[in-house]
Each structure stands twice: as structure tokens, then as C-alpha cells.
Amino acid sequence: MKAKIIGTGSYLPKKILSNLDLERMVETSDEWIVSRTGMKERRIADDNEYPSTMGVEACKLAMMDAKVTPEEIDFIIVATLTPDYIFPSTACLIQESLGLKSAAAIDIQAACTGYLYALSIAKSFIESGVYNNILIVASEKLSSIVDYEDRSTCVLFGDGASAAVVSKNGPGLSVESVCLGADGEQAELLMLPGGGSRNPATQKTVNEKLHYIKMAGNEVFKHAVRRMEAASKQCLDQVQIKEEEVSWLVPHQANKRIIEAIAKRFTHLPSDKIFITVDRYGNTSASSIGIALDELMKTNTVKEGENLLLTAFGSGFTWGASLLKFTRNA
């Protein structure tokens, strides 16, 4: 028995931050941003929107899509690096808002690979028979940790949420395999230094801007391409599927050039089979492949028996890939 994604949902805040808006904030240009990242705009949460409230909206759509009721959810796993609070978990806040009376709840933190880590945990609980229906959620308010005076990072990130119901029964996307990896040696190349117990908030940490994302972009870029390619190929090997049998690639949306570099290493994948949202939403970290997967499924272009390859990379470093197969009759 394979766990299946039987419903997906996503939520994007209404407010748009365009490249032209950014031109008025820092020394940058639409030309630079588009040519270096492929991004044109990203969404920014309102002051009263949080990862929990955005996650709730994504979950409602995923549960409706899956035709499951709140009472049927056994477990909720939230992947986020911008939780509402350090504690209690964002998962508990969503659990309460949705009335998931019988669900256990936990947050996980695997940065931009969070969706795949959550999927892997859900797959294990379903296939071992512990739970029947699990909500996985990825929700980020990255605008709360971005320095809008730092042009090297502020153009890259956006806010948004995605969710999926992973179940024992039903038609949908069978989770054939999830491959995960990590390398803590590179932790300092992409991090938020302040606010944890090592550098708790003080006037000094605020003055030194330690509560904002710090990234060595160039270095991260190279690792991202290498790790996502390797994870994808490892995942295909594991399920003994050839590259040419992959119908769709749903990659983490950090930079269009990263996606193109990975695509080049998959010689059989035409560009219209690589699902792109980075132009509209920028990098939404853990949420990114979940949002892309939801949008792809809602286009109704995925056909019976087609294979979808998901891959992601993020701070830690963490990375992963997953092979999903679409089956309408299960």
C-alpha cells in the first residue's frame, strides 16, 4: 500500500510587490531581477495575516479537494521557518482554527525542503498503519524576516501557503518515493542568526540586523543545482523509473536560472513540462513546491499514470526529491 495525496490547496496573499515597487525601495532594476532570477512579482501578507491564518485557508481548500472532514484528520504537520511564535507550534494554532479535534499536531523545520520532509513523515505514518489521513501544510511569511534595505535578498522572497491531504485510500497522487538529504557543514551560508537561544533578541541583535535572512547567494546557487539534480536522480533510481518516463518536473522556485540548470541535466524534459511559479510568487520557501503542485493539479492537464518529480533545496543545507504517480482509479 502506498500513501496518496488525495487533495491539494494553496493560499497567496492579495498584496503584490512588483519589481517596479522594489526599484523605489533599493538600488535595483526590473531588468536585473528578471535576468538573474526570472521573478516579476511576489505576494506579501497583510499585517494581520500569519503562517497560521494562511495555512488555514490552504488546508480548507485541500480538505475540500480531498472530500475529508476535520474529524477525519489524524495528524497535522506544518513545515515553516517563519512560525507565528517559537512556541506554541503553528500546527496547534491551525488545528484549533480548523477544529481538528482528534488530530495530533507538530511543526517541522527543514527550510525550503520542508514540504518534502513533511510528505516523507506523512508517508511513513500512513504506510505503517498508524494514521489514515494526515494534513501536511507549508506556510511562510518571509516578509517578516527580510531586510527591505538589502537588495541581495529582498527581491527574492514572497509569502504564501500550501497544503495537502495524505491518505491511505482514494484516487490521487501515489507517493512512490521520497528521498531526503542534509549537510549541516554548510549551515552558515543561508541562515537567520538572531532570535534563537544562541542570539536572543537584544537591542544589539536588532541594531546588527541579526533577525533578517543572510545568504551567500552565489555559493547557495551552486549547491542547489547539484543537490537537486542528485536527489532527483536518486529518487528515480529508487523506483526504477527512467528520466524519459517523467511527465512533469515541479522544482523549488528559488530562481529561474537554478530551474533551467536542473532542466538541462534532464535532457528528455521539454520546458512546458517544468512547472514554474517563480515569476509570479518569488521564493516562498517551504510553500513553494506545494503551491506549484496545487496549481499544476488545478490545470487538469496531468493525465492518468503520469509521473511527477518534485525536488527542493534549502537552508541547513537540506534537500530532497519525490516521485508521485497520478491514479484516478484507486
Q: Which residues bind ligand UT7 (CB under 6 A)?
A: 28, 32, 36-37, 112, 151-152, 155, 217-218, 220-221, 224, 254-255, 258, 283, 313-314
Nearer to ligand UT7, 83 or 314 (CB): 314
**Which residues are within 8 A (CB) of 271 and not within 5 positions of it... i.e. 6 or more apart?**
263
Is-catalytic flag, 112? Answer: yes
Q: How far is the CB of 254 from ligand UT7 (least distance, A)?
A: 4
211 is catalytic: no
In whole angstroms, how close is the CB of 62 to ligand UT7 at the nearest point? Answer: 23
* Catalytic residue selected from 19, 133, 255, 283: 283
- In angstroms, what is the minimal distance from the CB of 94 to ligand UT7? 23
C-alpha 257/C-alpha 183 separation (Å) is 23
- According to DSSP, residue 252 is labeled -
Q: Could you say which DSSP state residue 72 is in?
A: G
**Computed from CA positions of residues 193, 197, 199, 202, in that sequence, does the dihedral angle turn out positive or negative?**
positive
CB of 39 to ligand UT7, least distance (A): 9
Neighbours of 283 (CB within 10 A): 24
Catalytic entry in 154, 252, 255, 307? 252
CA–CA separation, 98 vs 79, rounded Å? 17
69 three-class SS? coil
Q: Are 221 and 258 in contact (CB under 8 A)?
A: yes
Nearer to ligand UT7, 112 or 276 (CB): 112
Quote the DSSP letter at residue 35: H
Q: Which of 112, 154, 179, 235 is catalytic?
A: 112
| R_g of the chain, CA atoms, integer Å | 19
- Cβ closer to ligand UT7: 172 or 251? 251
Q: CB of residue 133 vs ligand UT7: minimum separation in angstroms?
A: 30
Query: Which residue's CB is nearer to ligand UT7, number 10 or number 255?
Result: 255
Say whether 248 sits in a helix, a strand or coil.
Answer: strand
Task: Find the residue with minimal CB distance to ligand UT7.
Answer: 217
CB nearer to ligand UT7: pick between 157 and 326: 157
Contacts 24+ apart (CB under 8 A), 124-131: 125/75, 126/3, 126/166, 126/167, 126/168, 127/1, 127/2, 127/3, 131/74, 131/75
Alpha-helical segments (H) within 128-249: 151-154, 203-207, 217-239
As measured in angstroms, the least distance from the Cβ of 57 to ligand UT7 is 23
3-state secondary structure of 213: coil
The answer to whether 311 touches 320, Cβ cutoff 8 Å, is yes
283 in catalytic set: yes
Indicate the residue among 131 and 157 with the shorter CB distance to ligand UT7: 157
Catalytic center residues? 112, 252, 283
